[in-house]
Every structure is written in structure tokens, then in C-alpha cells.
Structure 1
Amino acid sequence: MYDFTIAYDRFEPASEQLREALTSTGNGYFSTRGTAEWEDMSDVHYPGTYAHGGFNRETTIFGGIPIWNEDLVNLPNWLVLKLRIEGEEAIRLDNVELLDYRHTYDIRSALVQRELRFRDHAGRVTRLRSRRFVSMVHSHQAGLEWTLIPENWSGRAEVVSALDGRMTNRIVARYRGLEGRHLDPVSPRTFGDEVIALKVQTRQSDIYIADAARTRVFHDGEPADVDRDLYQKEDYIQQVLAFDVEQGHQTRVEKMVSLFTSHDNAITEPLTAAGRHVQRYPDFATALAAHESAWAELWDVCDVQLPREPRAQLLLRFHVAHVLQVCSRHTARHDAGVPARGLNGEAYRGHVFWDELYVYPFLNLRLPEITRALLLYRYRRLTEARAAACEAGYRGAMFPWQSGSDGTEETQTIHLNPLSGRWEPDESRNQRHVNAAIFYNVWRYYQATDDLEFLRDYGAELMLEIARFWASIAHYNPDRQRYEIHGVMGPDEFHERYPGARQPGLRNNAYTNTMVAWIAATAPQVLDLLPPSRCAALRARLDVTDEELHTWDDMSRRMYIPFHDGVISQFEGYADLEELDWDHYRAAYPNIQRMDRILRAEGKDPNRYKVSKQADAVMLFFLFGHDELRSIFERLGYRYDSDLARRTIDYYDRRTSHGSTLSFVTYAGVLAGLDPASSWDRFMVALNSDICDVQGGTTKEGIHMGVMSGTLDLLQRSYVGTSVADGVLRFEPRLLDRLDGVAFTMRFRGTSLRVGVKDDELTVLAEAEGFRGPLRVGVGDEVRELGPGSDCRFALAAQPSAVGR
């Protein structure tokens, strides 16, 4: 690893699919895995291209039962570029002797490069350098370049340049028993001598996808004399470009590609658009320079400097690059949500979960226009959420745990346990807390941006309908004189029901109930922020009565929160569960993160035990500052002593397997002020979780958007201590021995700020250009006002060390 580069210095077949996911290149519209373009789909290699909104639903008959799934579709493979020497078999990594090999990923521009030197069966030694990118300037553009140098031979070479529409979804082993064919052929086509094109259609959703490719060859910088031979069938088209090469002389091949779908704006149809655009594209070098310039602009806004921790800095930058490849300004022009596993694999079938809760904080304070657009994904599906609530007997809007194309519930009813090989019921759709996450996301976006227009036109309606849902799913218990919520799951996911119960769901999940109390207190504030005419109109259209507002206020004061042994109970009845023999399982299994699968494979029910995938009660201390959480609990009439956080966090830490990488993010955040050394250890685990594939094979199926963006949020919110309260941007830096020299740019309510910590001093500088103020910033009790071009400096008190224990 280097400042902006990740490099692999040898080819390792067992690691190749992981590397392909990690070295994907994308632009927020589509993304392509870092697969070598001369390799076909196999157990070693998996070419994959995915675009926002590219979903298709298929049905599999499983044991006589129809099982439907909606998947993010693996689109036609535009990469295909193969080398044949003297008419022989195409070169692959497994049919030549590799003399040198290097696979690198330039984080600055999401540029994937391979350099190899190989000897074929005839003793010919050839050097090949491959570079490619997906343009951050033009959302439909990609480019691929080869540089060939024959070292000890001259002769005839052929390059096969193709577009392959025969792709299927099959990278996730546990899905392979389900239907993975999503594309039907439509037609191949050519646009002149240089351009081939291919159009396909998704089988159920009727989305048309078209690729066009322009391939050219150059000898020592000049256009080469090339013979072209065309072959095509309904779902595949290729050109074979034949030319002479000379020993020691450089030949360059460039393939410029365009990709369109029928979801795109301002086109007559995708195939025509793809062909027209690729004919107009500049050469590879010019397009790459523009692409690099666009990334440079993004880095000016999004870079993170952490000079005392070079590995952490590199991985933070790596995470920034991946987040921006899924969520960019291009994304903002499309109807897109945040796929939990990005756009470079098929895990979770490309669905949108609650992981956006971890993604938006970083974007809110840098590229809020992207958050705004992504929140509209939820707003556009409000009709479906209302229908789902109504069908379940509730009011308001009930958003799905897994969302795809249209906002209906996409969660499976069964899932495969890879340890036991058995299909088991999936009750995770009862994680209604996704509604709370959406409400939270809208509110935090507003606090960071002061975007009253969004709140007025979209956000308030979302939030009111979510508050209304919670009021309808809750019920009042006169014996306790408290509101309760039954039949739900928390983020923990290992507990779906009570032991031996027929019906799924739990009573009074503490995370859910606390979030509902906060929502019930916040919703009236949203109405107060609206212009009086808009407030009246919205209340009239939604029929929000004074009685309903009174109910929300009452809920904010009387939601039931379970406790036991001086800690917050994960849910009512948690204290009655059995303790797990952790020492036994740690000795028996090399990895116990997925304790639910281990227990089920042993014939045991995880619902019986005090074991958590991620402790959802701890999430409360992650999402809210101590003063804010204290206010919520005291409003409810519960005592919130100074040690509640420490007791609760420690209690669940001993009972959590961290089966989700998000768990490390959460614990790193909540321990930042309690145990700095442990916090940093977990921060590093989270940072390394994808690059090192700590879950043992899941990252190759798609990167984890939540953990990648969550680590960025940890730095800005948990370590630098960024928060917004009463219009003041506040900082509470921690782990100063680790943070010395940290610097980053952020945007608060339209103004660009540069923030840095150096020698026990925090500096905030307001850029003069585009200043919108005045702005107030604070550390502790000290609050100052920033003007254009001015800065504020705050002295920071000495803190416990975060280095070692």
C-alpha cells in the first residue's frame, strides 16, 4: 500500500474475486468490477457491471413453492479484450508463464491497472499494460487501454474486442439455486467500421440496456493498418482486429465504451444513444485526463488527511473513493437509493436497506446535493409505503426492510444457511426500524444544510407519515401507563422471536421504542419550521389533527423502555434468555461472527441466547450525543445517570459476536469517549474489514457501503466530535494523540470550511468564496462567529492516550 495506491504484486487465483470487487471502478451511475478483461466468468474470475435501478424480478420453483427475487442485474460485459498471437488460443493467466505481474488501483481516480510480462508456450515473451476507468465526467463513458510490447518476437497479433450479453447473476454461492438469468437478447449492431454495439432487455422489468464500443490500434503513436473481422449473434458481438507487431516496439489498443439504459433522460432509445456518444468520444488519453480532473475536484472536497496514521489515512481515502463511485453527482440525476453492497457485486441482491444511515453523515457535510437526491428515492416510494402500512392494518407509511425498484418489500421469506445447507425462515422484514432511520436521515440532512425547501416540499411529508405509522403500530398499556410496540425486530437480527413462539417478533425493542419517542417529539418541531401556509396545507392534505399531535406528544413522554440489571434491555424478556458459553465457541470455531448460523447448524435456536449480531441498544449512544439521549430519557421519565452508557455498552460487548461489520463502527463510535484505545482498535478493524475480507468471503460479493462510509463518519463525528445543535457547528475532538495533524474540508449550510487539529488546537477556516453566513462554531462552552475568510482557533484540553492499553 502507498499514499494513494493499492497494489498486488502476484496473481493469486483464490483472492482474485475479492480483488475484483475492491478494484472496481465506477462513477455513481454504473460500476464495473476490476476483472481482467481477457478473462471469462469462471470460479476464479467474475466480470460484472451494475447500474443504479437496474433491477429485474424472477421466480424460482423451489420444492414446488414459487420463490420470487428481485436482483440488481449483472449487465452486459463491455470489458472483453483478448489477445491472440499468430492465430493461436487467446492469452489467459492460466495458459502462460507469468514472469512479472502487478495489479494496482489508483485511489485518486479509481483507475485499475495491470502490468504483466509473460512467456507463452512457443517461448514468446510479451509485456502488456492494461488501464481502465469509468468516467467521472461523463456518466455513460468508460475507457480501456492496452500497451503491448513483444520482447523477443515479431509477427501477427489479433485483438478480440467484444460486448457480451450472455451474463448471469451467480457470484453469490447461496443464491445459485435461484434463477440468475435476467437478460434477453434484442439485437447487435455496428456504427461504421470502428463501432460495435449490443442491446439487451431485462426479462421482467423491461429495461433496455445498450453498450457501444469503439476500438482503435496505434503503432508508436500513429494509427495502425488493421484488418477487421466481424462476428455477431443475438446476444454477443465482436470485432477481431489483426495487425503486425515488431519486436521492441509499442502497440497501443484503446477501447472507448458508452452504456445507456431506457431509464436515462434525453434519449430516443439506448442503442442509438450509445452509438452516437461513443463515436463522439475523444481518445483514451484525453478522456482519462478529464476524468482525473473531475476526481481532483472531488478530492478537494472529500479528502481526509491523517498524517500520523498512514495506513488509516490510506484506507479512509480508499473508502472515500468507493463511496463516491456509488454516490456521486451523477447519482443525483437518477432515481437511486444506496445499495448496501455498492455497485460491484450481487450480495443482498443490490437492495437498499438502512445502511444509508451510515452513508449520509459524510455526504451531508460535503456533497449534500447527493444526500438530497438519495432521500428522494424514499419520497418517490411513499405511495408504496403507505399501501404497505394500510395492508398491514396501520396508518402512515411503512417502508420495507429491503427496497429495490418500486419500494415494495423485497425481503426473502426464506434464506440459505451455508453452514447447514438448509433453507430457513427469514423474518427480517420485521425490522421496522428502517422507518426510524429514514426519519433520522431527513432530520440530520436538514440540520447540516438548513435546506428548508426540501423539508417543505418533501421531507416534512415523509417524516409526518413515518410518525403516524409509529403512532398506529404502538398501543397504550394502561397497566404500565406506557406505550408499547410488539411484533418487531431490532438491528441485532439474531433475535427474530421468543424461544418456542410461533409468531415472529419481539416486544418493546429498546432501540425501536427510544427512536419512536424521539420521532414523536421531533415531528411537531418539523411542522413549526414550515411556513404557516405550507404547514396548514400539509396538515389539511394529510389530515393531521390536533388530537394526533397530542398523541405524538404523549408518546414522546410515555414510551416504554425495558431495563434490567442497571442496563437498557435489548427488548422485553431479554434478561430471561440463556447465557452462551462463549469460551466454548471461540475454541471450537475459527470465526464466530455469524453465531446464528453456527447455532442453527448445531440444531440450536439463537433466539434462546443472549447473543447479538450487533447490539442494537448500543446504537442509541452512537446516533445521539449524551445530552440529546439524556433529554429523550428524562422526557420519558427514566433516570439517565452518567454511567448508563458505560454499563450498557460493556454488558452487550461481552455478548455480541460482531457478525455485521457495522458493529465495529458502532462500538468504535460509542467507546471514543469511554475507552479511546479500544475505540481505535475497533476503528482499525472496521477500516480493514473489506480490504482484508474479515468475514471470510463476503466482500467479493460486493463492498460494504455502511462500514466504508461509517469509518469516515467515525473520524468526523466520533473523533473530531462534529455535531450540529441549535444552528451551531460543534466540535469535541478526542484521541488527540492519533488525530494530531488531521485535516479535512466540509460544507456547512452552504459554506466551505477547512477543519484541522494540530498541537492541541482545533482550527476552523471559512472560505470566502460562496460564503453563506454568519456561521457559529463551538468547542465546549465556547462559541464563536465565523465570517468570510476568517478562522477560529480553540485550545483543546489534554486527554487520555488512545495508543495501547
Structure 2
Amino acid sequence: MSNSIMQYNRGTDALKNWIVTESAYNPKLVGKAEAIFCLGNGYMGQRAAAEEKNMGETRNLFVAGTFNKFADNEVTELPNAADVLWMDFTLDGQAFNLEQGTIVSYERVLNIKEAELTRKVVWTSNENRTYELTFRRFISLDDKHVIAQRVEITPVDQDAEISITSGINAQVSNSGVQHFKEGEKRLFDKKIMQLIQTTTESNIDFVFNTAHQFEKNNEAVEVDGLILMERRQIYYAYNNITVAKGETLVIEKLTNVFTSRDKDVEVEGLKGLKTFAKEHLEGVLKAGYNTLFTAHAKAWEEKVWSVCPITIETAEDFDQLAIRFAQYHLTVFTPAHDNRMNVGAKGLSGEGYKGHTFWDTELFVLPYFIYSHPKVARSLLEYRYLTLPGAHKKAKENGYEGAMFPWESAWLEDGEVTPVWGAADIITGEATKIWSGFIEQHITSDIAFATWQYYQITGDEDFMEKYGYELLLDTAKFWQSRLEWNEEKQEFHINNVIGPDEYKEHVNNNAFTNYTAHWTIKNAMAYYNMLKADKPEIFARLNEKLDLDATYEKWVEKVDKIYLPQPRQEDLVIGQDDTYLSKEIIDLTKYKNQENVGSMFKDYNLTQVNEIQVSKQADIMVLFYLLEDLFSQDVKKANWEYYEPKTLHDSSLSLSTHCVLASDMGDKEMAYNLFNKACAIDLGPNMKTSDHGIHAASLGGIWQCVVNGFGGVRMLNGKLRIVPALPEKWTSLTFPIFWQGDRLEVTVTKNTLTVKKVTNNNEEITFTCGETEYTVKDQVVVEL
């Protein structure tokens, strides 16, 4: 799978299926590579703009968790921090720029294995002089504060005079919004430049230090420069460095980033942080690019690739690359270092969704970490526990009890941060109101489900006692207060909501919402009784905090009267909500075959789409995925056949759910096709899909396609089930999972399933495959 610019098959030998290549430069299509070539380490993420400034680019550096609110009528967002990538080159009097002169050859490569970005350009100036330039960079996984760059310039056909301007440029914004106050700038020891920025509302200090080192012929050289300061800028001008024909000038630019939000630095105030950061960079400079890079590549091997290697044997090499690409970004965008932070819908690769956290984390990203890096999963769930004050505030403001989680979440105390106004309405000409923050409420059940799922798979009792039980009880407390009594039908309804399918607003009894609310209450009741009987101290603490005894009585009174939409007799279809099945049916072929998502809104506005049987994304299907044992195979198949043709997959979350369900239903061809479509959201031929950033949830979903779908791994009521469904084009699949503290290695071939227990925290692990239960002490081979 490739197109004229992005190539996915350039890796050879040890780097086979580890390389993504941009094979040509097109100034109109820079957003794609900027996003998918994003570098980062969970602490920070840097969009892959070029060193020199070019047309149409977006230069972003985000530090996780540093939210700021620009104005009262705006929502908090991750601020775009100073541009430290910036380096301008003048070669024999002409500025090096890809829009001028002639590009003789161009290649930019993301090495996923070692998380390094390399660009090689042979460029001829207007004066007909040719230069070879190589740019390398990485953001360290070994030391999360380090950004390293290395540039090599070789004059090909004559001696050259090279000038360089490079430093720290804080004249950047979030699409025009400036989140920082101007801070101090200074130079230390004629070498280290330091710039301070402080966010305007949250008052977070950012400290940047950067310095340059030069080499010729593999030997360090001193280059004289002039230090310059302008508004929000500090930089060096190194003028007229003479470089002989065929000789290579090497510039290393080493930068560090610290903020006053960092947990790992214990210093007194900004003064202490500035001193600490400067001394830290002195150590970084001593090491130099190559030494730093070796440590960084080793960290990727030890923390990622050796912990969760996934091997696919197939002639379709792209599939192997795609799962590694997903794992790469899951590492880059997840702030595993700090439980006060979570995953943004665009990771740290762009301004889309302002760095906010959605249900994407719980349902699409978290499973990867639960099965592969349980400690990281725990940290992401602790974040939700720490945001409980915001959830209580939202419940109270809406007249409810318990924890009502925000649809979009940012810093712990921020509460609901969904913007109120969105895209243009093509009919009225006004901005469309975004109702999700007001009435998309299933996120509260999603968090409860994820908490329970984490516990069932890991058995982490310490987490439950400190955080988990409280989350499960508090969310159920909300749901019982949210129920509305329908006198006529003598049952409880949940009215005026948006379900997962956001093309249906202000609906009553969205099936996903009702079923998961019911499940949340039932589950909480079971834990209420268990805690009372087995953990009286924890029960007493939570009873005092949440008034559990009174709440339990309400659960008992209400839970069996909650309306749960049932399959219709004539065709077994469950209504997505009270009115979906009575809405107009139109021919959706044009939109099902669309090149860009959301094409329907060129013909209809949201009010009109609301009245048509069309879905943005999986809704009932997500319900079948989470609570699969509540529905028969016949019901699932009937609803699949009804809803899939009406689902446009305009949300990147949708394809992976459909892929796993297609796998479950034995439609291998459809499952594999959906997997390929999910991979193509960021890696496909469409050069505009990723302009606002990568699709974090979809990348988590790709892992689910492989492990939960094709690998068949599922946790069902606390038990492990493995029923593989390998795509026809694959001959084998091997992956690790953690289960109850033990690491298992699962290998699936056409005829066998092998489960090997690698660690010995439990004497044995049981799992089911088909109707049979198996016990693994060291290894079990199942004939499929």
C-alpha cells in the first residue's frame, strides 16, 4: 500500500517493515508527514516540521499536561511551546529552502525501531551550486527532557561559505492564540542559550536550553557566532563558515525542555529549575548526539520492542509495519511518567482536539496497555480517579449525584472542556453547536467498564482498594440519579443524550447508554455486597464518602426497571434509540465510497442528518463488543447486517470495532478489509487525513484488530478466552499478553494455537478456546 509520496516498503534486512518514507517534497501536502513522523516520548511530542521554514508547515511542540486557557470564552488547551527545531541555512549567499533552487533528490525516513527521523536532500542553488544535506533528530526515550538534532552539509562541486541562524523561537502560537508571557532570555558561557516562557493563566514555567557543537572531518571545531535576542527569541548567527569541496560540516543542536509541572525534578522555584536545566544540558553536551542516540535506541528496545513484540508472518509486509507504527505512536503520545496526565485524541502530534482526553483512552487505547504494559494502564486510570472533583462538579451543576465525567477532559481541576461551537452549518451559515459536552454521557460507563476490565485482567487489588472500587461505585451513583421515570410505561428511561453515534443528537434511550448504565449499576451492587462482607474497613471508608447504604437502596429499587431495548421480533434488530428505525432511509453509496470523511455535510446539515438512518460510527456494535455475552450470535449478525451498511465510519474509532466483530462472526475477508482501512487512516494514500494530527484511538484500535480480533483474545466475565481467526493472507501471528500478573506468549497458525507461560507468578493460568478449558503450566498447544 503506497502512493507517489509515502512509501512503506523501503526497509531492508534488520530494518525490514520498520521504515516509513516520504520520497518527495510537495509543499501542499506537508501535514501528513509532519503528523505521522511526529517524535516524542510521552513527556513531549514534536510535530515533524523541517529545520528550515517552509510553506504550509505547522510547527508544534507540546509538553503533556501543561494546559492553559487563553480567554474566558475559550476552553483550555495544550499550548504550542517554543520552536527549538528551527535552523536557517544560507549556502553561498542563498537561503536553503525547498521552494527555491532545485531538489536533485529528497528522502525523509522515520525509523520506527530506533525512533529517529532522517532527511537527505541533494539541492542545487539558483547559482547552480550543489550541496548534500543530511538531517537527523530524535526525542530521547532514555532522558525524556532531551531533543537532539544533527545536520551534515557537504558542498559537492566547489568550496562554500555557510551561514547558520539557530536558536529558540517562542514567536509561535496555537492557530493564532499566544499562550505564553514573554520570559527571560540569556546566554551562559558563550554557548548555552536559555529562554523562559510562562503560561498566561495556569502559570506553568517552561525552561528551554539549547547549544550548538561543530565538527569538520570528524573533529570538533570552534565556530564564532554572534548572540542575538529579539522579542520571544534568542539565537546565534554563525556567519561565513568556510567548508572545502567534499568536506562535511556537522552541526549538533542539543536542547532540553523542563517545566514547573515536572514531578521528576525537585528544585526550589523557577530559579532552581533554570540552574538545574542549564547543568543538565552541560551533561547532554558532553555526551553528544551519537552517545545520546545509542542510549535512546536501547531504551526503545528495552521498554517497547522487547516487552511487546508482535510478529506477523505474511506476504503482506505492510501489515507488520502497520502494527509497529501503531505501537510506536502509542509510546510517543502516552504520558506514562505522570498519572495526572492522559492521552489526547491527536496524541502530541497536532492541535486537533486541543490535547483533550475522550472515551478514546478507555475503550481504544487502554486495552493495549492493560495487556502489554499494565503499569501504564494503571496510571491512565489513576488520572480518571484524580479528575473525580471535576466529575462531581459536572454532576452537581446538572442536578445529579455521584461522578458525571466530562466528555472532554484536560487538567485535573478543569472539569468539562468541550468547546461549545464547531464547524459551519451549510444551511444556516452559523457555527454548529457541539452538544457532546452537554449530553454525551456514556463516557461515565466507559470509565467504569475500563476500570473493571483492568482489574479482571491484572488482578491489581491494590489499585482497586485505593481507586477502583470508588470509581465503580461513584459512577453507578451518578447513573441511578440520571434515570427518568416514565409513568406510562412504568420504567426508567435515559432521555436527551448522544450515544457513540454522534450523528444522532437529543435521542431517548440510546441502547449503548442504557445497557452500559444498567451494567454499571449491577456491577456496583455486586461490589457493594462484596466489600461489606469481605473488606469492612474499605466499605466503611467508602460508605462515609459516598453514602453507599442510601445509594444501594436506590439501586435496588431502580435497576430492574431500566428500559433495555430488545431485538424486534420480525428481524432481531435492536433500535439504536427510540426513533432511529423510523427515520428516512436513503442511498448512502456515495458517502460509503467517499475519499474524505464527513462528505455528507457538503449535502446536508447536522439537523437533516439527524433525521436519516445513517451513523457516524459503531454504536450498537460497541455494545456487542463490550458486553458480548448479553446477546446471541443471531442478534449480533442481524444487527451487523442492518447497521454496517448505514455506518459511514466517519470517526476513526469505528473501523477497529467492526473489524473485531467481523472476525468474531467468521467473516475473515470483511475483517481483514476493515483492518486495512483502519491502518490507512494515517498510513494510507490519502495525504490529507492526518493534517490535524495522528488518530490516537485508531492506532490503539489497530492493536485490538490484531490481538482481540485476529488473535481472538478476550476477557469475558473475568476469564480468559482465546479464539483466533487468522486472516487468509497470514500464516502466523505471535504476540505477548499479561494475564493476572503473568506474561503469556501466544502463537497462532492456520491449525494451532500455542500459549506459553513465560513467567511464574501463578502456578497455572486457565483459558477457554471453543467449548474447552485449558490449563497452562508452561505451554499448551491447541489444534484448531
**TM-score with structure 2 setting the length:** 0.92
Q: 1:573 maps to which residue?
A: 579
Give the C-alpha shift of residue 419 in structure 1: 5.8
Query: In 2 relative to 1, CA 584–210 (structure 1 residues): closer, same or farther, beyond 3 Å?
Result: closer
Q: 1:663 aligns with which of 635, 645, 654?
A: 654
Establish whether residue 451 from structure 1 lines up as the match of residue 460 from structure 2. yes
Establish whether residue 557 from structure 1 lines up as the match of residue 569 from structure 2. no
Q: 2:341 aligns with which of 329, 336, 342?
A: 336
Q: 2:267 maps to which residue?
A: 267
Q: 2:251 aligns with which of 229, 250, 253?
A: 253
Query: In 2 relative to 1, CA 294–591 (structure 1 residues): closer, same or farther, beyond 3 Å?
Result: closer
Judge conservation of contact 1:99–1:117 (CA < 8 Å) in 2.
yes
Judge conservation of contact 1:300–1:745 (CA < 8 Å) in 2.
no
Establish whether residue 384 from structure 1 lines up as the match of residue 390 from structure 2. yes
Letter in 2 for 1:475: E
Unaligned runs of 5+ in 1: 60-65, 171-178, 497-504, 631-640, 797-805
Q: 1:785 aligns with which of 771, 775, 780?
A: 775
Give the C-alpha shift of residue 746 in structure 1: 2.0
Query: In 2 relative to 1, CA 592–287 (structure 1 residues): closer, same or farther, beyond 3 Å?
Result: closer
Q: How does 1:706-785 map to 2 (within 5 A)?
A: 706-725=697-716, 727-735=718-726, 737-768=728-759, 771-785=761-775
Q: 2:327 maps to which residue?
A: 320
Query: Cα deviations across residues 598-623 of structure 1 (Å, max 9, x unaligned)?
Result: 3119xx62221111101311211122
- In 2: Cα distance, 1:708 partner to 1:136 partner: 20
**What SS does structure 2 have at the residue aligned with 1:353?**
coil
Judge conservation of contact 2:342–2:380 (CA < 8 Å) in 1.
yes
Q: 2:430 maps to which residue?
A: 422
Query: Cα deviations across residues 423-465 of structure 1 (Å, max 9, x unaligned)?
Result: 1222112110011111111111111111111111011111111
Judge conservation of contact 1:521–1:553 (CA < 8 Å) in 2.
no
Q: 1:367 maps to which residue?
A: 373
Establish whether residue 673 from structure 1 lines up as the match of residue 664 from structure 2. yes
Query: In 2 relative to 1, CA 70–458 (structure 1 residues): closer, same or farther, beyond 3 Å?
Result: same
- In 2: Cα distance, 1:302 partner to 1:408 partner: 34
Give the C-alpha shift of residue 527 in structure 1: 3.7
- In 2: Cα distance, 1:590 partner to 1:739 partner: 28
Give the C-alpha shift of residue 272 in structure 1: 3.0
**What SS does structure 2 have at the residue aligned with 1:609?**
coil
Query: Cα deviations across residues 125-161 of structure 1 (Å, max 9, x unaligned)?
Result: 1111111000001111111011121111213322222
**What SS does structure 2 have at the residue aligned with 1:133?**
strand
**What SS does structure 2 have at the residue aligned with 1:571?**
coil
**What SS does structure 1 have at the residue aligned with 2:663?**
coil
Letter in 2 for 1:58: F
Give the C-alpha shift of residue 333 in structure 1: 2.8
Letter in 2 for 1:692: G
- In 2: Cα distance, 1:409 partner to 1:385 partner: 8
- In 1: Cα distance, 2:237 partner to 2:590 partner: 60
- In 2: Cα distance, 1:591 partner to 1:152 partner: 46
State the aligned residue count.
750
- In 2: Cα distance, 1:284 partner to 1:773 partner: 46
Q: 2:80 aligns with which of 62, 74, 77?
A: 74
Give the fraction of aligned pairs with identical amino acids, expressed as a percent.
Answer: 27
Letter in 1 for 2:252: E
Q: 1:699 aligns with which of 668, 672, 690?
A: 690
**What SS does structure 2 have at the residue aligned with 1:699?**
coil
Letter in 1 for 2:475: I
Letter in 1 for 2:63: A
Q: 2:677 maps to which residue?
A: 685
Establish whether residue 513 from structure 1 lines up as the match of residue 514 from structure 2. yes
Give the C-alpha shift of residue 586 in structure 1: 6.8
Query: Cα deviations across residues 61-118 of structure 1 (Å, max 9, x unaligned)?
Result: xxxxx732222111101101222224x2431111221111001100112211100011
Judge conservation of contact 1:137–1:291 (CA < 8 Å) in 2.
yes
Give the C-alpha shift of residue 572 in structure 1: 0.8
Query: In 2 relative to 1, CA 723–553 (structure 1 residues): closer, same or farther, beyond 3 Å?
Result: farther
- In 2: Cα distance, 1:391 partner to 1:516 partner: 20
- In 1: Cα distance, 2:613 partner to 2:312 partner: 38
Query: Cα deviations across residues 632-687 of structure 1 (Å, max 9, x unaligned)?
Result: xxxxxxxxx44111111111112222111211112112111222211111111001
Give the C-alpha shift of residue 318 in structure 1: 0.5
- In 2: Cα distance, 1:583 partner to 1:146 partner: 50
Q: 1:285 maps to which residue?
A: 290
Q: How does 1:397-436 map to 2 (within 5 A)?
A: 397-405=403-411, 406-417=413-424, 422-429=430-437, 430-436=439-445
- In 1: Cα distance, 2:79 partner to 2:523 partner: 39
Query: Cα deviations across residues 501-522 of structure 1 (Å, max 9, x unaligned)?
Result: xxxx221110000101111121
Query: Cα deviations across residues 349-395 of structure 1 (Å, max 9, x unaligned)?
Result: 11111101100111101111111111121111101111110111100
Q: How does 1:479-628 map to 2 (within 5 A)?
A: 479-496=488-505, 505-527=506-528, 530=531, 531-546=534-549, 548-553=551-556, 555-563=558-566, 564=568, 566-583=572-589, 591=596, 593-596=598-601, 598-600=603-605, 605-625=608-628, 628=629
Letter in 2 for 1:774: E
Q: 2:101 aligns with which of 96, 99, 123?
A: 96
Unaligned runs of 5+ in 2: 1-7, 10-16
**TM-score with structure 1 setting the length:** 0.89
- In 1: Cα distance, 2:298 partner to 2:589 partner: 53
Establish whether residue 55 from structure 1 lines up as the match of residue 55 from structure 2. no
Q: 1:635 maps to which residue?
A: none
- In 2: Cα distance, 1:184 partner to 1:388 partner: 31
Give the C-alpha shift of residue 12 in structure 1: 1.4
- In 1: Cα distance, 2:39 partner to 2:123 partner: 26
Establish whether residue 108 from structure 1 lines up as the match of residue 105 from structure 2. no
- In 2: Cα distance, 1:517 partner to 1:448 partner: 22
Judge conservation of contact 2:40–2:140 (CA < 8 Å) in 1.
yes
Letter in 2 for 1:365: Y
**What SS does structure 1 have at the residue aligned with 2:113?**
coil
Q: How does 1:344-363 map to 2 (within 5 A)?
A: 344-356=349-361, 357-363=363-369
Deviates more, 1:427-436 or 1:201-210: 201-210
Establish whether residue 38 from structure 1 lines up as the match of residue 44 from structure 2. no
Letter in 2 for 1:388: K
Letter in 1 for 2:523: T
Judge conservation of contact 1:728–1:775 (CA < 8 Å) in 2.
no
Judge conservation of contact 1:209–1:259 (CA < 8 Å) in 2.
yes
CA RMSD between the two structures: 2.1
Establish whether residue 183 from structure 1 lines up as the match of residue 197 from structure 2. no
Q: 2:191 maps to which residue?
A: 194
Judge conservation of contact 2:742–2:761 (CA < 8 Å) in 1.
yes
Judge conservation of contact 1:586–1:592 (CA < 8 Å) in 2.
no
- In 1: Cα distance, 2:152 partner to 2:48 partner: 18
Q: How does 1:135-150 map to 2 (within 5 A)?
A: 135-150=140-155
Judge conservation of contact 1:672–1:734 (CA < 8 Å) in 2.
yes
Letter in 2 for 1:540: N
Give the C-alpha shift of residue 773 in structure 1: 4.1
- In 1: Cα distance, 2:343 partner to 2:58 partner: 23
Query: Cα deviations across residues 160-179 of structure 1 (Å, max 9, x unaligned)?
Result: 22111011112xxxxxxxx6
Judge conservation of contact 1:229–1:241 (CA < 8 Å) in 2.
yes
Give the C-alpha shift of residue 21 in structure 1: 0.5
**What SS does structure 1 have at the residue aligned with 2:68?**
strand
Give the C-alpha shift of residue 594 in structure 1: 4.5
Give the C-alpha shift of residue 595 in structure 1: 2.6
Letter in 1 for 2:267: I
Q: 2:12 maps to which residue?
A: none
Judge conservation of contact 2:592–2:648 (CA < 8 Å) in 1.
no
- In 1: Cα distance, 2:238 partner to 2:513 partner: 61
**What SS does structure 1 have at the residue aligned with 2:732?**
coil
- In 2: Cα distance, 1:377 partner to 1:585 partner: 38
- In 1: Cα distance, 2:552 partner to 2:185 partner: 60
- In 2: Cα distance, 1:168 partner to 1:53 partner: 17
- In 1: Cα distance, 2:106 partner to 2:515 partner: 54
